[in-house]
Amino acid sequence: MAWKILVVDDDQPTLDLMRVILRGQGHDISTAMLGTAALEAVARNKPELVLLDLMMPDMDGLEVCRRLRANPATADLRIVMLTAKAHPADRAEGWRVGADEYITKPVDPVDLVARIKAVMQRPRPEMSSASLLTEMAHAAMLALGAALVWTLAIDEDGRSLRSAAIASIVGEGMTRMFLRALKGGVGEVSFPMARQISPLTDVAIGGNALLEKPLAEVRQLAGGDVLARGLDLVGTRWVSVTPLALRGKVQGVMLVARQGDAPLSTTELRLMEVFAGQLALATENNRLLQRLERQEHEAQREKSFHQTLVNTMGDGLVILDRALRITYVNRRFCRMMGYEDAELMGRPFIEMIHDGDRGPADSWLTRVGGTSSFEKRLMRKNGSVLSALAVHVPTEQTGVGDVIVITDLTDQKSREATLMRRTRQLTAINSAGRTMAASLDIDSIPQTILEETVRVLGARAGSILLVDEKTGGLTFRAVAGPGAEKLVGVQVPVGHGVIGWVAQHGEAALVDDVRRDQRFYRGIDQTTGLTTTNVVAVPLLIKRQVIGVLELVNKLEGKFDADDLAVCETLAQWAAVAIENARLVRDLRAHTRRLEKAYDELKDADKLKDDLIQNVSHELRTPLTFILGYVELLLAGDLGPLSEGHLKALEIVRRKGQSLTKLVNDIMTLQWLQGGGLDKRPVLLNGLLAQTAQVGGIAAQNAGLKVSVDVPDHDVIMDIDEERIGQVLDNLLNNAIKFSPQGGEIVLCLRDLDDEVQIEVQDSGIGIPADKIDMVFDRFYQVDASLTRRFGGMGLGLAICREIMEVHGGKIWATSDAGQGSRFIFSLPKIAAPKPNNG
Ligand code: ADP
C-alpha cells in the first residue's frame, strides 16, 4: 500500500532520514520545513498523511494540527505528531488538537513504519473528549507526583457531581476498588449537588479549594469519612480538592491524592492550578462535545427518518437548484421515469416534461409565489408518456430549492377512460333499448334493433336472423351494410357458419378473423360481396330458447373485443324481449280481431232475436185478446149452455191463455224498459203495499197462505213510477205465493231508513240455495225447471224487477236460508225525493 505523505520538520537531517525510510516503503513523499509552508503544501497537493514535528520556529505542530482540523477540507487528514518532548502533558495537548498518533524522537524506523501503517489502516477515531480528559488527569498525576487524580464534572442540569476521568498509579483494579468504596454500588459514581454530602460537593458548590490537607483532616469533614476510606486504599496522605472553574463558573472538581511525606510547594500548587484550569476547559469541551454529539445524533436520526419518508413515499420528489436543474430525486421518481438517479442529476427539469406541456419561458416552474399544482405529461426514459400531477413548492418556501412532488396519474387516467367508455356504452344501450321498447311492430322491430346495435358498436355490417317458427331454419329478417339487402329472406342452413353455430349452441361467438375459423360459411360473403373478417354473434334467447341470432361484422375501428361482446349481449337481450313482445302483440291482436268478429256476429244474432220476439209478442196479443174474450163469453154461458167437459176444457184454455198473456206482457215490459221513460209521481208507499196485499190476498187464500203488511205509522211517500214499482211488488208477492207450501205466511214490510226506503217480501217457502241466489235475477233463470210445470213461469219476473229498480236508481237483492223461506228486498234512494215532513 502506497500513500501520499507530507513530512514537516525544521531539521533537514530528520527530513532526509524520513524521506529515505518512507520512500523505501514505496510511499510518495513531499516535505516542508515550516508550519506555514506545511499548510500551503497541504492546500496545494493534499496528502493522505502528515508527519508533523511539534517544535518549529514560526508555527508549532500543535497549531498546524489545529488549523488542519479546523478546515473541513483537511479535517479528515491522518496526522502523526513527531516530537522530542515526552512529557504526558504534551501528549495530552497533541491529542487535544486532534493528532492520530504521537511518536517520540529518536525515531525507530521499524516502529515508525508500523505506526504509520496502523494509523492509515484504522478508521480515523473521532477525537474523544473523554479520553482527552483521562489523558490530562494522567498528565497531572505524573506532573504532581500524585497517586491518584480524579476529575468530577457537574451535570448539565447542575444537580449532581459525576465522575468524569480518573488516573492512578495503583493500577486499574485498585482504581475500581477506590470508586466502589465511594459509591457502595455499581454504575457511575455521582454525588447530589448539595452541601455536607462530601468534601467534593462542598468544594464544587463553594468554589473554595482544599489544598494539601492531611487525610485525617479530610476524614473530619462532612461526608469526609467515606472519601477517606476510599483514599486509604491508595495510600493517601495529602489531599487537594480544586474547583474546575471557567469564566467564574465551576464546572467540576479535581481531586489530587498524594502519598509523599510533605505537602506540595507553592510552585507545585501553581502547577496544580494550571492543570485545574486546563481540566476545566476540557470538562467544558467534553460537555459541549457531548451536547453536540447528542444533537448530531438527533439530527442524523431525523435526517434518516426524512430520507426513509422521501424514499418510501408514494409520490416522486424532485429538488431543483436556482437554474431549475435537478439536484435531488427520490427512488419513486426514478422508478416512475425509468432513470437511475445519477442520470438525472444536473439535468434541467424542463427536459422531463412533454413538449406540448412545457408552455412559454415564464412557465409555471419559474413562477414566483406560493405552491401551485399542474397536470403535466412527463417523458419517461423509454420515450413513453407519464400522466402526472406536479405540485411545485418554490425555493422561498422550502429553503432547499424548488421542490416538485409528482403523482402518477396513469391509474386514475385509465380508470377515467374506462369509466367514460362504459358511460358511452351504457348511454348507447339505453337509447337503443328505448327505441326497441318503443316499437311493437314485428315487421319493423328487427331492423330498428339492428340499426341501433350497428351504430352503438360501430360495425361495418350486421344482420338479425330469426328462427322460422315452422321449419326451425334461420332466416335473415333485418340487414345492414353494403350489399346486405340481397340477404333479406335468405335461409341459412342450420349449423352452417358462425351464425348457425351460435343458433345451434345458444352461445355467443367472438371471432377475430373469420377466414381462419372452421365455422366460416362462404355463402354469405359471396352474396353480399363484403369480405368478412371480424365477427361478433350472439343468440337471441327467450326462456333459454334460441329465437334468433344477432351478428355484427367488421368493426370500423379495431376489432370487436370482450367489451363489445358484453354490450352486444345486453342489446341482444333487449332485442329478444322486444321481438318476443312484438310477436305476442301480433298474436294478441289477431286473437282480438277474431273475438271482435265473433262478438259482432253474436250481437247481430241477438238483435235479430230481439226483433223477432218483439214482433212475435206484438202479433200474439191481438189473437190472444180474441181467444180469451171468446173463452170468457163461452164460460159465462153467453153463447149457450155447455157440458161439464166443455167447461173444464175451456177453464184450461183460459189459464194457459192468461199465462201466455203474462209472458207476452213480460217480454213487452222488458222491451219497453230498454228504451222507455218513467212516469214518476209522489206515491204513498204504505198504501201501495196494502193494495198489493189485498189484490194478491185472493190468490194467497186459494193457496192456503196468509198475507200481512208491516208498515211504519207515518206516511212514507216516494217519487216513483207507481205502475212499475207495483209490478215489482206483484212479481215478488206472486213468487212468494208460488214457492210457499200451504199454511205459510207472507209479510210485506216497509222500512223508512235514513237514506233510503226498503220494501221486503218475506215468505216461509222452499227458499233458494246460496249458490243460486244471485242468478235468480238473470233472464230465463229458474232454480228448478221442473217446478215450472207445476207453477208456470218463464224466469223473466225477477229480471224485470231488477231492471225496473235500476231505472229507479234503486237496488234489489235476496237472502234465503234453504228450506226456511226467502226474503226479497228492494231499496229506493231518498236523494231524488226529499223526505216529506210529517210533523
Ligand atoms: P218465474 O217466472 O220462473 O218465477 P222469476 O224470475 O220470477 O221467474 O223467478 C226465477 C226463479 O227464482 C224461479 O223459477 C224460482 O226458482 C226462484 N224464485 C223466485 N222467487 C222465489 C221465492 N220466493 N222462493 C223460492 N224461489 C224463488
Pairing of strands 148-154, 49-53: unpaired
pLDDT at 362: 45
681, containing H or E segment: strand 681-684
Ligand 1 centroid to Cα of residue 823, in Å, is 12
Q: Whose CA is nearest to atom 8 of ligand 1?
A: 795
Alpha-carbon span 167 to 148, nearest angstrom: 6
Number of neighbouring beta carbons within 10 Å of residue 403: 19
728 lines ligand 1 (CB under 6 A): no
Instruction: Give me 99's grid cell.
Output: 493528532
Ligand 1 centroid to Cα of residue 760, in Å, is 15
736 lines ligand 1 (CB under 6 A): yes
Q: Count of alpha carbons within 13 Å of 602, Cβ hemisphere only?
A: 6
Q: Whose CA is nearest to atom 25 of ligand 1?
A: 767
Residue 152's SS3 state is: strand
Residue 66's SS3 state is: helix
Residue 637's SS3 state is: coil
Based on DSSP, count helices (H) and strands (E) in the chain, helices before strands.
24, 29
766 lines ligand 1 (CB under 6 A): yes
801 CA closest ligand 1 atom index = 6
Q: Whose CA is nearest to atom 16 of ligand 1?
A: 783
In this structure, are residues 257 and 236 in contact, taking their beta carbons and an 8 Å threshold?
yes
Number of neighbouring beta carbons within 10 Å of residue 373: 14
Instruction: Give me 473's grid cell.
Output: 331454419
In this structure, are residues 779 and 738 in contact, taking their beta carbons and an 8 Å threshold?
no
Q: Whose CA is nearest to atom 11 of ligand 1?
A: 782
pLDDT at 839: 38
Instruction: Give me 349's grid cell.
Output: 427539469
782 lines ligand 1 (CB under 6 A): yes
Most informative mutation of 772, 798, 800, 826 for ligand 1 (most atoms within 8 A of CB): 798
Ligand 1 centroid to Cα of residue 785, in Å, is 10
Ligand 1 centroid to Cα of residue 798, in Å, is 7
763 lines ligand 1 (CB under 6 A): yes
Q: DSSP label at 473? A: -
Angle at 560 between CA 555 and CA 562, to 5 degrees: 160
794 CA closest ligand 1 atom index = 2
Ligand 1 centroid to Cα of residue 809, in Å, is 23
Ligand 1 centroid to Cα of residue 805, in Å, is 17
796 CA closest ligand 1 atom index = 6
768 lines ligand 1 (CB under 6 A): yes
Contacts of 376 (CB under 8 A, 6+ apart): 353, 354, 357, 388, 389, 390
134 lines ligand 1 (CB under 6 A): no
Q: Count of alpha carbons within 13 Å of 777, Cβ hemisphere only?
A: 17
Alpha-carbon span 357 to 366, nearest angstrom: 14
Q: Is 416 left (phi over 0), alpha (psi -120 to 50) or beta?
A: alpha
Query: Sign (positive/negative) of CA torsion 270, 275, 281, 284?
Result: negative
731 CA closest ligand 1 atom index = 7
777 CA closest ligand 1 atom index = 6
DSSP string, 530-565: -----EEEEEEEETTEEEEEEEEEEESSS---HHHH
Contacts of 696 (CB under 8 A, 6+ apart): 707, 730, 733, 734, 737
Q: Count of alpha carbons within 13 Å of 588, Cβ hemisphere only?
A: 9
Instruction: Give me 210's grid cell.
Output: 482544599
Q: Whose CA is nearest to atom 7 of ligand 1?
A: 797
736 CA closest ligand 1 atom index = 23
CA 581 remoteness from chain centre? 39
Query: 106: cis peptide before it, omega within 30°?
Result: yes
798 lines ligand 1 (CB under 6 A): yes
Give 10-residue mean pLDDT values along the chain (839 residues): 90 88 90 92 90 88 84 82 74 75 83 87 62 79 88 89 85 79 70 91 92 94 90 91 88 92 89 86 79 78 74 84 88 92 91 82 59 86 90 80 87 82 75 70 82 86 89 89 85 83 91 81 74 90 90 89 86 83 86 93 86 81 88 88 91 87 83 76 94 89 92 94 92 92 93 95 92 89 70 81 91 87 94 48
Residue 160's SS3 state is: strand
Instruction: Give me 453's grid cell.
Output: 346495435
Contacts of 827 (CB under 8 A, 6+ apart): 756, 757, 758, 759, 810, 811, 812
763 CA closest ligand 1 atom index = 23
740 lines ligand 1 (CB under 6 A): no
Q: Whose CA is nearest to atom 23 of ligand 1?
A: 736
765 CA closest ligand 1 atom index = 24
DSSP string, 731-782: HHHHHHHHTS-TT-EEEEEEEE-SSEEEEEEE--SS---GGGTTGGGSTT--
Q: What is the pLDDT of residues 819-839, one digit of tens each?
A: 789 999 999 998 754 444 443
Strands annotated E in 259-331 = 316-320, 326-329
Contacts of 265 (CB under 8 A, 6+ apart): none
739 lines ligand 1 (CB under 6 A): yes
Alpha-carbon span 315 to 303, nearest angstrom: 19
Q: Whose CA is nearest to atom 20 of ligand 1?
A: 735
Q: Whose CA is nearest to atom 14 of ligand 1?
A: 782
Alpha-carbon span 823 to 504, nearest angstrom: 69
In this structure, are residues 658 and 792 in contact, taking their beta carbons and an 8 Å threshold?
no
Ligand 1 centroid to Cα of residue 822, in Å, is 10
667 lines ligand 1 (CB under 6 A): no
735 lines ligand 1 (CB under 6 A): yes
Q: Whose CA is nearest to atom 19 of ligand 1?
A: 735
42 lines ligand 1 (CB under 6 A): no
Q: DSSP label at 471? A: T
Alpha-carbon span 798 to 670, nearest angstrom: 11
